[in-house]
Structures are given as structure tokens and as C-alpha cells.
Structure 1
Amino acid sequence: MIIEATGLRKDFTVRRKVGRFRREKHVVSAVDGVDLAIGRGEILGYIGPNGAGKSTTLKMLTGVLTPSAGRARVCGLEPVAQRVTLARRIGVVFGQRSQLWWDLPLAESFSLLRHIYKVPAADHAARLKRCTALLGLDEFAQTPVRQLSLGQRMRGELTAALLHGPEVLFLDEPTIGLDVLSKQAVREFLAEVHAAGEATIVLTTHDLADIEKLCRRLVVIDHGRVVHDGSLDELHARYGSRREIVADLDAAWPGLTLPGAQVTAVENDGRRVRLALDGATAGEVVAALAQAVPLRDLSVQEPEIEDVIARLYRRD
């Protein structure tokens, strides 16, 4: 395994107001006994609601935070004790933290990173050429980082994280705040990196589309504990979180029963219907719906990750 964690725990001490003048210390467990085993070449979705412990886990695995208990090894190294050595073997992208130089053109940031990581010029040039082609960096490579849009900067961050050829890539909310086209570019790039077997990828996100398009395995964490480790389909099957089809009709809803779907709402004087998928695929339900009633428009809505977690805990 390229990443192993056993009983990983991180406690923080916080002060809470008691009365008018007193404050008491309380220990809060941000991560509470996480076990992980990730094989080389995997792409893992690590998801959960805000405050669940996702970013804290990644910071312990990258050596930024020292665990309060438990142990972790990444690339065969102890993240904190061997942080400098580990830094040369991993790539990290935190959505709200930049590793680029704000006032320098993007291309110069890449050049500086080559010297920092002591990457051979030929290797650096080959990786940069490939990233430039996949992410379309040419049009803004000479633009100062501070003038880049969020989507452009994130493409630059991904490139910067890969230029030294890391074995593991940690991504914390890489698509947060991006527009549709930028998200698509990032997802396609990560899929290409994974298909090429260049790095093991650990991805945290609130966007289930990222997970569905990229990850075969996901780990769900809440209140610092792992509550699910498996595929997205297994999560939906186990906890009943279902996608919905929202269809706008050219005629009133005739009250049909469609195999593999349940009607959850009929709106707009019967001209809009919401169908929860129940065992069938979206394509099968849409095909049956189109044969039964004239359609004006439709969309498939993914459940929010917060809804998945809430349903999971209601079951447990």
C-alpha cells in the first residue's frame, strides 16, 4: 500500500465561554480513529460534510499536522518525521492555498518550482508540455498569477503539483468555485493522469459529479470517523440516496407508473414531474418516459453529499 493509516486521530483544544468571565478548555476530535489503506495507482474520493475532518486528514498525511494518536505512512515514509523527503514524492493542491508566486507570470512559477524540486530540465519540459496541452495553459502562461481567473489558477496549481513527478497527488476541493468548463477541464485532466498511472490520487470534494466521473472507490467521513468505504453505487444502495429526474411536459402528467422510478412530486399544474430512480438507470427511465408522454425538457439531479450523509446517519 502506498498510503496506510491506523487509528489516526487529531485533537484540538478550544476555549468556550462559561458565564460572563470564565472560559473552559474542551478537547475536540477533528479526526477520530481513521483507518485507511490505499493501493498504488488508485484514485480515491474522500468525502463528507463541512467540518467532517477531510482536510485535517490530508494535512496529517502530508506532514503539515502531527497526529494526536495513531500512525501513518505515505510512500513508505512517516509524514511528519520525514516531511522534507516526503515533499519531493507527493503533490498537493489545497483549493484555497496557492503554491504559485502571485506577482510572477505562471511560466516563471513553473521554472522556480523546477529548481526547488531539483527536477532535470528534460523531465520538467516533457511534463510541462503535456500539462500545457491537456489544460490549455498557452493562452495565459505569461500572465501574472494575480491576474488569472480562478479556473486558470487552478489549472496552474494542478500543473505545479505534477511537475516534479509525484507518486501521490493530494487534492483538497480542486473544483471549488469553478465554472462548468473549468470543472470539465480539471476532471478530464485528472482522468488522464489516472489512466496513465502517473500518480495515486486522493480527492476531497463536495461535488458528487467529481466522484462519479473519477473515482471507483470513496471513503465517507463524518465527525472524524469513517462511516463508509466502498463504491458510490454501494453507498446509494445501502442508504437509499437516489438521483432524481425532473421532467417538464408538453401535457399534463397522466399518472403513469414507470418501472424503476417513483414519483416524488407533480408541480406546475401537472406539467412538471419529479421521479426518483429506484433500481433503473436514468437512461431507462427517460426512454420509458419519452414513449409515454411528450417532453419539453428534463434534467438529472444528483443528491448533495450532505443529503447522502444525513440519510446515512438516519439509517444508523
Structure 2
Amino acid sequence: MEGGYVDGGVVDKDCPDGDFIRLEGVEKVFEVRTRTGLLRRERRRVRAVDSISFTVARGEMVGYIGPNGAGKSTTIKMLTGILTPSGGRLRVAGIDPSRERTRLAQRIGVVFGQRTTLWWDLPLIDSYRLMHRMYRIPDRRYRENLDRCVELLELESLLDVPVRQLSLGQRMRGDIVAALLHDPQVLYLDEPTIGLDVVSKARVRDFLRELNAERGTTVLLTTHDLQDIEQLCSRVMVIDRGRLMYDGPLAGLHEVGDSERTLVVDLEREMPPIEAPPARVVRVEGPRQWLAFPASESAAPLVAHIAAACPLVDLSVREPDIEAVIARMLHRLEGAADPAPEGAVS
């Protein structure tokens, strides 16, 4: 029924599964006024999103990444209907978000990082009860979804706690539950593991994988944590200065960006720099050494070699900073004389 609960499996007939989310030359231009004198202001146009085109198939989990200010949040806000595009065409589940925002709201779930959809002064369970009524979710389905999500994300002991008293990690888990109570077909996630410890991150990732496998929920994920992308997404898109620069597998992004991971090795005593090609020592401080190696390579052979050859105490692997990966990728693409690599978008 229009305006009420929509089952997650119902999709508009005019929306092919391969084009579940579709953007064609989408642009967003903002007009910004800056003070140039005591009584004078200058107007200028800022192009936050510049002719972006891509499609996402139903059931895909896609990473949408880029440096701060690249246009990620603006894109997501247009996909949810919060912002209206300045040009181009976009559809989500066959719906024009800006023209049918209420209808689209029944089909999407959103978690916007530091911004909560929960009621600040109410206990967590009261926020869920309000959403139960707002989305007109059938009682049985609401209870099933709530019980399943709360159990998997371990929120049972927090249901009666006011949202303002929750830690950032607890609130993030609470927001994920809120976004899924009405069985959305599309889930937009902005930094879903921010503020979570290692165990909680793993729990959220497992939960999202299970959700995608069981219900075919389409997920668009923005994050600065490459482990989120590596463990959840088979495809990644990179946006920079409003333009889509790459669309392909994560391994291809590492190759284009020539990115590196870092192995931090703690030895029993000071030693000369470790020789373990293709890794290279980039820093030494007493018994601790930092080795850089290609991000596309497995760390296992390197770790095995060092463990067999050196008096090892401890080690850890640090992922490449996403902004550094993108910076290297852009530098290579802009300086390359040959055609752009496969997966890169000119």
C-alpha cells in the first residue's frame, strides 16, 4: 500500500536487476557566497558532483570511496532524495528520489556516520517503536527483524538506555538496526564501523554479509577503512573532485595506485634491516622495523619468512591510508601517457 510498509522483495517492474541503481551524467552545483568587502559578496559556483554515471545491480555490495570533500556525501544525498541533482538522471529501484522521496523512503535504509536517526533523549527501544509506527511495519515482521538484529549486534542490554548515554560504537550499532527494521532494498552506509573495537567491527561485517546473502540487500558503503571494503565489497568506485576516477575490483585499485601495506616487526634485539623482497625496510627504531610491501600481495609469505629468519617478538599489518592510495592513483593516471588501465574512468 502506498505510504505504508513495502516488503523488501517488491521491486518496480520497470527496474531491471542490473540497473537497480542508475546514474546518468548526474551533476550537483552549489552556489556559494563569499565576503569580498565590508558590504560586498561574491557569488561562485562549486561543482560538487561532475557528470557521474554508473549502475549498481540488485544485491551488489559496492564501496564508494574518496578523500574528504570528493563528493561522496553529496552523491548519497541525491540518491536518498535529500538533494535534487542540478543535471542528469538517476533512479533507485525505478524511482526518481527527488520527486518521490516518500515512496523511496520505504525502500532504503541510511546510516550517516556521525548523524543519528535515533531520538536523542529516548531509550533505544522507544526509537524503534516510533519507527515501527512511522513505516507501518506489520507487527510480526517488526518483531522478527528487531529480535534478529538486536541479537546479532548484541544490543539487548542497551535497549532501555537513552541514546545520548550510548558510546559512539553502541549508537552506530543502534543506527544500523534502525535502518533495517522496515526491510529496505537498498542500504546506504557511511563509516558503519567508526568507533567500534576489533570484535564489534567483525560482528558488524559478518552481519552485513549475512544480510546481503539472505535478503539480497543492495549495499553502497562509504568508508576510510579499507578492511571494510576488502571484507565486504567485490567492487569499488573512487570519486575525486566530483568525478568518478575508478570503477572496478579493489585489487585493480591497488595496482593502479601502486599502494603498499606496512608490516611492523618487533624483534628481540636490534638487527640490520631485514631483507625480504618484495618488501623493503622503510624505517628502523631499535628492535622495531617497518617494512612496506605491495598491497595486492598476501602478507602470509612475508610473515612466514621473517618468523623463520629472525628472533620475532610481535608483528602487525597496517593498511594503506585510503587518501594516500587515491593520491598515488590520481598521480599515475594524470601522468600516464598510455590509455587508462582497465577499470579506470577518464
- Match of 2:342? none
Residue 256 of structure 2 aligns to a residue in which SS?
A: helix
Q: Superposed, which structure 2 residues align to 1:123-134 within 5 Å?
A: 123-134=141-152
Residue by residue over 1:164-210, the C-alpha shift from the partner in whole angstroms, topping out at 9 and shown as x without a partner, is 11100011222233343433332222122122234101111111121
Q: Distance in 2 between matches of 1:21 and 1:37?
A: 46
Contact 1:259–1:280 (Cα < 8 Å) also in 2? no
Q: Distance in 1 between matches of 2:137 and 2:273?
A: 65
By how many angstroms is 1:295 displaced?
0.9
RMSD over aligned CA atoms reads 1.6
Q: Does 1:40 align with 2:58?
A: yes
- Match of 1:196? 214
By how many angstroms is 1:33 displaced?
1.1
2:288 to 272, 290, 293: 272
Q: Distance in 2 between matches of 1:235 and 1:153?
A: 32
Residue by residue over 1:270-305, the C-alpha shift from the partner in whole angstroms, topping out at 9 and shown as x without a partner, is x22222223641011010111111112111111111
Q: Distance in 1 between matches of 2:33 and 2:81?
A: 26
Q: TM-score, normalised by structure 2?
A: 0.86
2:190 to 143, 165, 172: 172
By how many angstroms is 1:314 displaced?
1.7
1:283 to 264, 288, 300: 300
2:165 to 133, 144, 147: 147
- Match of 1:57? 75
By how many angstroms is 1:86 displaced?
0.5
Q: Distance in 1 between matches of 2:215 and 2:58?
A: 9
By how many angstroms is 1:11 displaced?
0.6
Letter in 2 for 1:123: R
Residue 25 of structure 1 aligns to a residue in which SS?
A: strand
Letter in 2 for 1:274: W
- Match of 1:301? 318
Letter in 1 for 2:318: Q
- Match of 1:13? 31
Q: Distance in 1 between matches of 2:273 and 2:121?
A: 61
Q: Distance in 2 between matches of 1:285 and 1:257?
A: 10
Contact 2:27–2:88 (Cα < 8 Å) also in 1? yes
Q: Superposed, which structure 2 residues align to 1:225-236 within 5 Å?
A: 225-236=243-254
Q: Does 1:78 align with 2:96?
A: yes
Range with bigger deviation, 17-26 or 94-103: 17-26
Structure 1 alignment gaps of length 5 or more: none
- Match of 1:211? 229
By how many angstroms is 1:20 displaced?
5.1
Q: Distance in 2 between matches of 1:216 and 1:309?
A: 18
Q: TM-score, normalised by structure 1?
A: 0.94
Letter in 2 for 1:176: I
Residue by residue over 1:1-31, the C-alpha shift from the partner in whole angstroms, topping out at 9 and shown as x without a partner, is 2100011111111122335543211100111
Q: Distance in 2 between matches of 1:119 and 1:32?
A: 38
- Match of 2:14? none
Contact 1:245–1:299 (Cα < 8 Å) also in 2? yes
Q: Distance in 2 between matches of 1:62 and 1:81?
A: 11
Letter in 2 for 1:273: Q
Contact 1:261–1:280 (Cα < 8 Å) also in 2? no
- Match of 2:12? none
- Match of 2:85? 67
Q: Distance in 1 between matches of 2:199 and 2:297?
A: 29
Q: Distance in 1 between matches of 2:28 and 2:113?
A: 21
Q: Distance in 2 between matches of 1:314 and 1:173?
A: 26
**What is the identity percentage for the equivalent residue pairs of Structure 1 and Structure 2?**
54
Letter in 2 for 1:38: V
2:43 to 15, 22, 25: 25
Contact 1:264–1:274 (Cα < 8 Å) also in 2? yes
Letter in 2 for 1:180: V
Q: Distance in 1 between matches of 2:297 and 2:81?
A: 44
Provide the aligned length of Structure 1 versus Structure 2.
314
Letter in 1 for 2:126: E
Structure 2 alignment gaps of length 5 or more: 1-18, 335-346
